[in-house]
Amino acid sequence: MFCEQCEQTASGQGCHQWGACGKSPEVNAVQDLLIYCLRSLAPVALKARNWGVPTGEADVFTCEALFATMTNVNFDRKRFSQYVRRTITLRDNLKAQVEQASNTPVEWSKLSCFEPDFNQSLVEQGMTNYKRGEQSWQSKE
């Protein structure tokens, strides 16, 4: 794991083995996955707004999911897995509404087409797909 999101971070350089706050590597991995999924939702929400598609639900959800991640008091891994699922559902619903509103095929970025494999471990995907310095997911954008 690697996390440097708060002032408690180990030696001021980031937590590697386990969070100084108590966050486990597994929770950290799902949080990384969630952030990436939220990044895939954001451009879709912007496009939706441009087409007059309401984005309030996605907007509020994004704030809630980010807040849950940043406050480092919630270490419920299942809850973060639910956030990942919800992010993809909201994103795909907005995509469908944009395509209906535009009445033409829409070309989505690779980032906005990112799909976690919900039949596999989200922890493993968070751990293996995101490595600080390599950021392998970004090559798909």
Query: Interface with ligand SF4 by CB under 6 A: which residues?
Result: 3-6, 8-9, 15, 19-21, 23, 72
Cβ-based neighbours of 70, under 8 Å, separated by 6 or more: 5, 6
Q: Determine the Cα–Cα distance for residues 128 and 124; give it in Å rounded to an integer.
A: 6
For the bound state, the minimum distance from the C-beta of residue 134 to ligand SF4, rounded and expressed in Å, comes to 19
Nearer to ligand SF4, 32 or 98 (CB): 32
For the bound state, the minimum distance from the C-beta of residue 100 to ligand SF4, rounded and expressed in Å, comes to 40
Nearer to ligand SF4, 12 or 105 (CB): 12
Nearer to ligand SF4, 14 or 43 (CB): 14
Number of Cα atoms under 13 Å in the Cβ half of residue 105: 2
For the bound state, the minimum distance from the C-beta of residue 136 to ligand SF4, rounded and expressed in Å, comes to 21
Cβ-based neighbours of 133, under 8 Å, separated by 6 or more: none
Nearer to ligand SF4, 26 or 98 (CB): 26
For the bound state, the minimum distance from the C-beta of residue 61 to ligand SF4, rounded and expressed in Å, comes to 21
3-state secondary structure of 3: strand
Residue nearest to ligand SF4 (CB): 19
Nearer to ligand SF4, 4 or 59 (CB): 4
DSSP state string for 17-41: SS-TTS--HHHHHHHHHHHHHHHHH
- Which parts of the chain fold into alpha helices (H)? 25-50, 56-70, 77-102, 122-129
For the bound state, the minimum distance from the C-beta of residue 70 to ligand SF4, rounded and expressed in Å, comes to 8
